[in-house]
Amino acid sequence: MEAVAKLNNFPTSPRKARLVADLIRGKKVSHALGILSHQPQAAAPVMKKVLLSAVANWQNKNEEVSIEDTELVVKAIYVDGGRILKRLRPAPQGRAYRIRKRSHHLTIVVDNVAAAVVEEEVVKSEE
């Protein structure tokens, strides 16, 4: 059974956040946490918190299963564009330059490795 954690309108460019998200997509949660701990990008500590939240959500859904006995994996991670704050900056000769302060929405889905493999086999058999 999968669990989801979301973060909306975090003030970092989605392009910069996708670089970090690509590093942990499909990895085991323990390995992904190690990667995020050592990344210098500003989005890494925030992604680590959201990943820990997704693991906690999985634990709440599956209270009968021990987290130590399961191999959780980052099944999916999405970085979508959020709202854009638009500002104007004074420029030479009476002009104004636009400043676009971007933000992003982050969604992380974690699941048990065994469950993810079974779902893939079901999809392949349907095709």
Local confidence band at 120 (pLDDT 50, 70, 90 cut-offs)? low
- pLDDT tens, residue by residue, 47-76: 999 999 999 999 999 888 888 888 999 999
CA angle 28, 65, 32 (to 5 degrees): 15
Q: Give residue 69's pLDDT.
A: 83
Domain chopping of the chain, boundaries: 3-126
d(CA 5, CA 1): 14
Supply the CATH classification number for the domain 3-126.
3.90.470.10
Q: Give the mean pLDDT of 89-112.
A: 96
* Two tokens, residue 95: 């002009």
Question: What is the separation of C-alpha 23 from the centre of its chain, rounded to a whole number of angstroms?
Answer: 10
Local confidence band at 94 (pLDDT 50, 70, 90 cut-offs)? very high
Q: Give residue 65's pLDDT.
A: 86
